[in-house]
Structure 1
C-alpha cells in the first residue's frame, strides 16, 4: 500500500544548521511593493479576460441581426470560445508546470490579443466561429497569472489579496458594457471587437518586469534562480530572507504529473472540484449571457416584433447596474473566507446564486428584476473568486497549475453548455432555464460544504510525496 505524507527539509542538505523553504521565505519577505507589481499585471490580464467574456453577451443581439442568425447559431459563438478554453486549459496547465508561469503567460496573452484583433475583420459567421475559438484557446491559460500571484503571497495575506484581485474582473466587465453602449450604436460591432482585444496586448511588455515563480523554480530544482528572485523580492519590500540555505520543503517529485491529482490524498478533492468548477462557470456565464437575453425577450414581448431587437440604452443601464453586483463579492468574501472558512464560504455563495436565479422567473417590475440580476452576478462572481482561491491553495506547487488547468477544463464544459440554456432554452421558457440554473447551484452548494480539505490557515504544500509501508 501507499501512504502520502509531507516531510520537512531536504535530504541533500540534511547537515545544514539553518535552512528555510520558499513558504518561509515568502512569509518573511511580507506583503509589499513586490507583490503589488505582480498584482497589477495579473489584474490587467484578468480585466482583459473580462472584456472578452462580456463581449459575448453584448455582441450576441447585434450578430443575430447582422447575419440573420438563429438562437442555436448565436449560442454556438459562445460555445466555441469555451471549447477552445476547455480543450487547452489542461494543456496550458501542464505547460505552466513544465516551462514556468511567466513564459506561459506571454504566449497566452499574445494568442488572446492577436486572434481577438483578427475577429474584427471576420468576413462571415464561419470565420467568427474559428477566430473566437482561437481566442478561447489563449484564454484557457489565463489562470496562470492568478497562480503566479498566489505563489508569492504570504500565507496570512493570501486570501484577502486574491479576493481583492476580483476588482479587476468586475472593472473589466463594467468597462466592456460601457464601451459597447458607446461603440455599437455609433461605429459598429467590429470596432468593439478591436477595442476589446487591445488591452491584453498592452500587458505583454509588462510581463518582462515580473519574475518567475520561486515556488516553481524550487520545484524544478532551479535553486539559484529561485534564491535570486526571493532576494530581489526582499530588496523591493525592504526586508530580509531568513538565515540559512534555501531547501525543498518535501522530497522532490516530477512537476506537472497528472496522476498526482488522483492520488489518495487528492482524489476526492479533484473530483469535487471538477463538479464545482463546472457548476460555477455554468451559473456565472449563464447569468452574463442571460442578462442580455432576458432583456431582449422582454423587449420582444413589449414591442411584439421579431427577434432582431438591439439592446436599448435602458437595457445597457440595467446591465451596468447588475454588473455592479460583482463588486459585492469583495466585502462578502473578505468577511467570510477567513472567518468561517473556505468550504462554508463557497457553499453560501453557491446557495445565494441558486436562490436568486430562481427568482428571475417571476414577473416583476424592471427595478426588482435588476435587483435579482444584481444579486446573481454578485454571488456567482463571489463563487468564481472563491473557487480560484481554494483550488490554488489545495494543490501542491508541483501540480498546482495542471490541477487548476484540469479543473478549469470542466468549467469550460459548463460554459460550453450554458449558452444553449441561456440563449436557446431561455428564449422558449424563462422558467425552465432558471430552474436548471437554480438546481445546479444548490447541488453545488452541498458539494462545496463537503469538500474534504479546509485550506484556511493551511500552508501551501510544495509537492506530493508517497511512502510505502507494510
Structure 2
C-alpha cells in the first residue's frame, strides 16, 4: 500500500468512498489493474484516489473494541471446554475404575485414548478448516466433542467407554488448533500477542472448572441414581456436566459468530469479507458517528494461485489425487522458507508435551509417595492392586490439590498477557522452558507432600508461559492457507509426546523413578535451547 489508512481517509473520514470512472487522463485503475476509489465530494475540487485495502489495513480500519471483547469470551469458552473434556478423565478415574473394573493398564489406555483421538483429529480438522472455513469446522468439532463425551457417561462397559472417549478426543483435536487460527485472524497486529495470550488463559479457566465440578459432584452421594439397569454413579453425572461447555460453545458459534475475514479474502469472497469488517466496525464504534469507509479489499495473486491449485485438485475424483491433496499442505510446511521453523516447532511441541502431560498426570502418585516424608523417588514401592483399594467413600484431597495446582496458572497467564507484545513470544518461550527444566530437575529434593504440592504449582505457573507463547508463535509463523493445517499437525505431534510421556512414566516410575523425571528435565531444556532458532514474531502482520 502506498498510503497509510489515516492518509487515505484524511479529514473527510465521514464521506463515503465511491468507485468512479474518470474521463480524463486520471484513470481508476492502478498499475496492477485494480480498481481504485475516489471521494465523491471534495471541497478543494481536487480528485484523490484510494487503493483497495489489504487485510491488515482493513482490520485496523475496523477498529478494536466491543467486538473483540465478545470474540474473546466466545472463543475462550470454546478453549475452556476443550480443557474440561481433556482433564475430566483424570478426575473420574478414582471412582470409575471400580465401576468399570479397570486395571492399571486399562487406566493407562483410557488416559491415552483422548490424546490418540486428538492426534487423529488435529490434522484432519486443521486441513478441513484451511479448505472449508474456520467457523463450520469449529461447530462440527465442538459438537462431536460434546455429544460423544456426554454419551460416554452411559457406557456400561469399559471398551465402549474407551471408544466414545476416543471419538470425543477427535473433536477436541479439531477445535483446539482451529480456534486459535480463527481468533487470531480478527486481531490487529499491535494487539495480537496480548489477545492470543488472553485466549490461552481460558485453558486455566477450564482446568479450574473441571476441578471445581469434580470436587463438588463426585464425592456427593446425593447425585447418584438409577437409569434403567445402569447404576448412574456421581462420576457419570460429572461426565455429563463436562460435555455441556462444548455443546453450548458449538451452539453459540453456529448462531452468532462470522467466518474469519482473512479466510474469506483468501477464498476470494470479497463481499462476504467486507460484511464481516462492517459488522466489526459497527460493534466497535457503537455510539460513534463515524461511518464505515472500506469499499474494496486486495486479493493477493498468491492467494489466487493457491485457490486455483485447490480447485484443480478438487476436480479429481481419483483416490490417489485425493490422497496427494491431503498430503500437499504437509509438504508445504517443510518446504522453504518454512522448513526450519516447522522442524523447530515439531521438536518443541514434542518436548513440552512429553514433559508437561507426562509429569502432570503422575503428580498425585508422587504426592502419595511423600506422605510419610522423603523425596518422591526415595520411597519406591510396587504398584498396589486396584482390587485391594476401595473407591468409596471418595476422598476429596485429590480434587483440592487439583484445584490449587490449576489456580497456580494465574500468575503465568497474567504475565504473558502483559508482556507478550513487549518482550515477544520467542524470548518468553525459551526462558519458560529453561526455567521449567530447572524446576523439574530438583523435584526429587522435596521432603513432604506440602513441598511436592508447592513444586507442582511452581512448575505449573512457569510452564503455562511456554504454552501461551507457543499459541502466539505458531499462529504467526504460517500463512493463512496453511495456518490451521500447521496447528493441527503440531497438535498431533503434541499428542504423540503426551502419550509417550505417560507410557514412560508408567513403566519406570516404580523401578527407576528418577529416570523419567530427569528425562522430562532434559527434554524441556532441549526445547528451550531449540526455541532460540525461531524467528522473532512480535507484532508481525499475518500473511
Give the CA deviation at 1:427: 4.3
Residue 337 of structure 2: aligned partner:
265
Residue 210 of structure 2: aligned partner:
176
User: Are 2:493 and 1:410 equivalent residues in the alignment?
Assistant: yes
TM-score (norm 2): 0.78
Residue 466 of structure 1: aligned partner:
none
Name which of 74, 78, 85 aligns with 1:52.
Answer: 85
What is the distance in 1 between the residues matched to 2:455 and 2:530? Answer: 24
Give the CA deviation at 1:67: 3.7
Residue 265 of structure 2: aligned partner:
218
TM-score (norm 1): 0.90
Name which of 34, 42, 54 aligns with 1:13.
Answer: 34
Over 3 Å counting, the alpha-carbon distance change for 1:68 and 1:421 in structure 2 is farther
Over 3 Å counting, the alpha-carbon distance change for 1:438 and 1:60 in structure 2 is farther
What is the distance in 2 between the residues matched to 1:309 and 1:450? Answer: 51
Name which of 507, 519, 526 aligns with 1:436.
Answer: 519
Residue 254 of structure 1: aligned partner:
306
Q: SS at the partner of 1:247?
A: coil
Residue 541 of structure 2: aligned partner:
459
User: Are 2:208 and 1:161 equivalent residues in the alignment?
Assistant: no
Give the CA deviation at 1:335: 4.3
Listed as ranges, the gaps of 5+ residues in structure 1 are 1-8, 462-470
What is the distance in 2 between the residues matched to 1:61 and 1:240? Answer: 59
Q: How many residues align?
A: 452
Query: Which 10-residue stretch deviates more, 238-247 or 428-437?
Result: 238-247
Matches within 5 A, 1:321-336: 321-336=404-419
What is the distance in 2 between the residues matched to 1:100 and 1:353? Answer: 37
Residue 137 of structure 1: aligned partner:
170
Residue 275 of structure 1: aligned partner:
347
Tell whether the 8 Å contact from 1:261 to 1:267 is kept in structure 2 after alignment.
yes
What is the distance in 2 between the residues matched to 1:10 and 1:230? Answer: 26
Q: SS at the partner of 1:20?
A: coil
Tell whether the 8 Å contact from 1:30 to 1:237 is kept in structure 2 after alignment.
yes
Tell whether the 8 Å contact from 2:36 to 2:52 is kept in structure 1 after alignment.
no
Residue 18 of structure 2: aligned partner:
none
Q: SS at the partner of 2:277?
A: helix
Over 3 Å counting, the alpha-carbon distance change for 1:449 and 1:236 in structure 2 is same
Give the CA deviation at 1:168: 1.5
Over 3 Å counting, the alpha-carbon distance change for 1:325 and 1:424 in structure 2 is farther
Over 3 Å counting, the alpha-carbon distance change for 1:42 and 1:406 in structure 2 is same
Give the CA deviation at 1:394: 0.8
Deviations 1:61-112 (A, max 9, x none): 3333444433332111121211111112111011001110000011011100
If you compute each CA radius of gyration, which structure gives the higher value, 1 or 2?
2
Over 3 Å counting, the alpha-carbon distance change for 1:278 and 1:246 in structure 2 is same
Give the CA deviation at 1:354: 1.7
Residue 110 of structure 1: aligned partner:
143
Structure 1 residue runs of 4+, over 4 Å off?
9-12, 14-17, 239-244, 296-307
Q: SS at the partner of 1:88?
A: helix
Q: Quick one: higher RCO (CA 8 Å, sep 6+), 1 or 2?
A: 1
User: Are 2:415 and 1:368 equivalent residues in the alignment?
Assistant: no
Query: Which 10-residue stretch deviates more, 396-405 or 287-296?
Result: 287-296
Query: Which 10-residue stretch deviates more, 34-43 or 253-262?
Result: 253-262
Tell whether the 8 Å contact from 1:325 to 1:375 is kept in structure 2 after alignment.
yes
What is the distance in 1 between the residues matched to 2:260 and 2:522? Answer: 39
Query: Which 10-residue stretch deviates more, 61-70 or 355-364?
Result: 61-70
Give the CA deviation at 1:435: 1.2
Q: SS at the partner of 2:302?
A: coil
Give the CA deviation at 1:316: 2.4
What is the distance in 1 between the residues matched to 2:302 and 2:264? Answer: 15
Residue 152 of structure 2: aligned partner:
119
